[in-house]
Structure 1
Amino acid sequence: MSAPNFIDYVKFCSRSGKGGAGCLHFHREKFIQKGGPDGGDGGRGGSIILRGDSQHWTLLHLKYRKHIIAKDGNPGEEQDRTGASASDEIIPVPLGTVARDAETGEIRCEITEDGQEFVLTPGGRGGKGNAYFSTPTHQAPQHAQPGEPGIEEWIILELKLLADVGLVGFPNAGKSTLLSVVSAAKPKIGDYPFTTLTPNLGVVSYREGLSFVMADIPGIIEGAAEGRGLGTRFLRHIERNSLLLFMIPADANNIQTEYDILLNELRKYNPELLDKKRILAVSKSDMLDDELKTEMKRELPTDLPAVFISSITNQGLVELKDLIWSHLH
């Protein structure tokens, strides 16, 4: 999906419908001049509802909907007829969408399953007609309830990609190339920083028809947690990944130093990210011989498994997929 079409953040005004007013009416017929109260209840106002939809991959369809408004319920009618309730406004959202209150920042819901629904802004209840207030001692009530008002609030929707493996690394670490080789995804690839401006998902085939989902996250730079580069705009996508695959190229000045910088940015953004399982892939290793690899292994971080790979020559990719699968399962 092209960069302009990948939208993972929207803010809109959500307004539910107000309930219909109850009816104030008394039964009248030709030979019944003083019939009892027969005012019906008002209908319920429409609600704003989020629904998970696996066919949506982005929030693009909501980018220009700054106001989502449900209709009001109809008022009650004579002869105890209840007013029609307004239809709800159903908003399809991709899996991994988080809804939060724009003013307080409170998380309202997380949509993670196809078909999952959440009433974001409930519609107002309809008012009771005067027939509801009739009692043996008060047989002719002269009042009916107004309907409840609707609710108006500002909502923020954020999309956090659902993937088994998230690729973490500096720009030009070879993340997009790896994804294009091990899956059918076609991310933009170029020999310059920030080639990838939007996350890309790819399904990686494994042995005996098995598979897992890999996400290519735009490159992280030092200071990303404070907003530098693409900043926190895409760091949130890493929160949904079960496993983090750190990618550092073989020609890096110091692999341990780059790994520490990446780890520190994740720590500053969300310390809980450090609880995820981690693997290190040394990319662009086709330029290394066995002797150089042996020397470099002494400099690699000792607290996580590492593998040398090359997406160009397919070196180490089978070993990498085996390692990923063993950590996922």
Structure 2
Amino acid sequence: MSSVKIQTEKHLLGTKHLSAQELTNILDRAAYWEQHPVKVSNHLQGRFVANMFFENSTRTRFSFEVAEKRLGAEVLNFSAAVSSVEKGESIYDTVKTLESMGIDAGVIRMKPNGLLAQLAEKVKVPLINAGDGNNEHPTQALLDLYTMRKHFGHLSGLHVAIIGDILHSRVARSNLWALRSLGAKVSFCAPSGMQAPELAEYAPYISMDEALKADVVMMLRVQLERHEGALFSSAADYRAAYGLTVERSERMARHAIIMHPAPVNRNVEIDDELVECPKSKIFEQMGHGVPIRMAVIERALS
């Protein structure tokens, strides 16, 4: 196998082109790390991983950092204000600079769409996508899948309804591709101005009443300020039309679970009382981010 082929397989740019076997391997390895008795190993001792965040993040960056340190890697953190890194060339120069200093892998988060794939072709170290624009967020989808599989014991045949701002959601896209690969059915629920029409052939748009019948009800964080034309006059109006209220939750199937990639807008896309209710897996999802990212980093550096 050529070095170019090997390198390509070590990048994690998205879930769209991952096979069912590759997805399953990552989930299985995450299960190993979740149950690992030693909190910090020397598995990647002497390896350097750079976290390059050109877009603000708290949970994702800390989750990756905990994962890297649990594996025994040396961690370099780079963050930049969005205003200081507006051009793709600047991001490229930063990545190439860190590569020249001897990093072994890079975790990268950025706003531009399409740039990450170009970077991956130009650098010799594996890159892990920590979220790029509204394109993909593969490790979030993987930890979501891990949470579902751990709860239900399987993914094939599950109906997952993703509700909210599909148009801007990289989480929805990565979940869509990965869930379909593993045999789950995905449906979207969103107001017309928040729909991504190009995804309709892969996941139908359904009503809120239909979405509540799913095995997994996944709410997305809604940023109303991103939508021009005032789809909703207030957050309260959005909650009334598309929020998971206590009343709506009572119509969910007894076995169904509630998920959310976080951070949560309480009392907007989901009522405060539901965030930590028995059906909710929201904080469990966050915890699963560490073993999933351990598996992904190990995959890149094995």
Normalising by the residue count of structure 2, what TM-score does the alignment of the two structures yield? 0.27
Normalising by the residue count of structure 1, what TM-score does the alignment of the two structures yield? 0.25
Query: Which of 1 and 2 has greater Rg?
Result: 1
Comparing both structures, which one devotes a greater share of its residues to helix? 2
Comparing both structures, which one devotes a greater share of its residues to strand? 1
Q: Work out which structure has the larger RCO, using CA pairs closer than 8 Å and 6 or more positions apart in sequence.
A: 2
